[in-house]
Amino acid sequence: MRAEKYPRKTAATMSYINKPKFKHPQMQTNDIGLTRRDYEGTLTTLCGGCGHDSISAAIIQAAAEMSLEPHRVAKISGIGCSSKIPSYFLSKAHGFNSVHGRMPSVATGANIANKELYYIGVSGDGDSASIGLGQFCHIVRRRINMLYIVANNGTYGLTKGQLSATADLGSRTKSGEESQFDNIDMATLAIELGASFVARSFSGDKKQLIPLLQAGLSHKGFAFIDVISPCVTFNNTDFSTHGYKNTWENHIALSEVDFVPMREEITTSYAAGKEKEITLHDGSAIHLHKTSNDYDPSDKENALHHINAYKKQGKIATGLLYINQSTSDLHELQETVDKPLNSLGNQELCPGSEALNDINNTFR
């Protein structure tokens, strides 16, 4: 590489509006000396009030609190409003806005190439439940170690409000179109296909969403979060099950989660029998507060039963729905070397001419 040929100073030619770089001098820094600003992305181009912007904000806060190194994250998405989200957080991380419905395969390849990064996949209900449903199913089966977020608004926003496959039977969009078909529930699907961490949340409930994001990032294996994220422009009517009103009124937390990063000494004490602690692979922990329904997220059948039972009552079960920490990820299953595959060079990969001559001899 001829670094000297690289232009040292180049004029900005950004065609989008630059975000102001101003930082408040007293802005708090985290354990690795970064402020919240260091976790932000570019200025959003989504509609004002879009649930997706709250997801970006929650990811920013979750990552900043966890002191994730932004550049050790890779953000991958498909196509649609949801898939724009990775632009709006962690601009120091590489991002990949791929093709519609195919984020899972791109994320799979990226993860195989370098197992040392954090992978955040962001998709939508059109992207993951319709055009990409096949890829979604198979990335779950393959146990890719990543956090997979579906920003679920029950509608196709970019093409002006058609119903999506997650829209509940009878739910109506702004134009009055009513869903005539049963919906696909991404969370129960993920549980059935073997995802080892499945949660559901609401973009409007930061208190619930942030610890779930943190737990999902710390979980080793495939972590899935279905985030109800209302589309203010096309699917926020009183008759939509994916609007703010219905979600606020009807989402019920099966579990309440606190996330305790690994470096923090656990000092909080709870009254005996009132909480459960789950230690994650990286040493961090999830504290589950006991709720009135005495929910156990380690029981798959129980999880499916609760979600479906609430659904019958028109309620949306949220929180950590299912967790299993004893599964292996793809790298463990395939027994790949400890070093990332993308770091291996000639020496490690090329068997050389002597071995080739031996092979030639088997073809004589």
Restricting to residues 69-128, which ones interact with other proteins according to CB under 8 A?
69-72, 74, 76, 86-87, 91-99, 102, 104-114, 116-117
Backbone φ/ψ region at 257: left (φ over 0), alpha (ψ -120 to 50), beta: beta
* Selected binder of other proteins within 267, 269, 313, 363 (CB under 8 A): 363
Question: Residue 252 in contact with residue 245, Cβ under 8 Å?
Answer: no
Q: What is the distance between the alpha carbons of residues 140 and 145, in angstroms, rounded to a whole number?
A: 10
- In the complex with other proteins, which residue's Cβ is closer, 83 or 201? 83
Residue span binding other proteins (CB under 8 A) among the ranges 177-185, 227-235, 266-274, 356-364: 356-364
Q: Of 211, 301, 302, which is closest to residue 254 (Cα–Cα)?
A: 302
| Binding residue (CB under 8 A) for other proteins from 3, 26, 180, 238 | 3
Which of the residues 141 through 170 are near other proteins (CB under 8 A)? Answer: 142
Per CB under 8 A, 177 contacts other proteins: no
When asked if residue 338 is in the footprint of other proteins (CB under 8 A), the reply is yes
Cβ of 130: how many Cβ atoms within 10 Å?
17
Residue (312 or 364) nearer to other proteins, CB: 364
Q: Which of 188, 187, 193 is nearest to 212 (CA)?
A: 187
How far apart CA 239 and CA 34 sit, in angstroms, is: 43
Give the orientation angle of helix 206-218 with respect to helix 51-66, to 10 degrees: 50
- Count of residues binding other proteins (CB under 8 A)? 77
H-state helical runs in 67-132 = 103-113, 125-129
Residue 351 identity: P
DSSP letter assigned to residue 48: T
Nearest approach, Cβ of residue 268 and other proteins (Å): 32
Question: Within 5-24, which residues bind other proteins (CB under 8 A)?
Answer: 5-10, 12-16
Site for other proteins in 193-252 (CB under 8 A): none
Stretch that binds other proteins, among 201-209, 243-251, 308-316, 353-361 (CB under 8 A): 353-361
- Give the nearest distance from C-beta 303 to other proteins in angstroms: 25
Nearer to other proteins, 292 or 347 (CB): 347
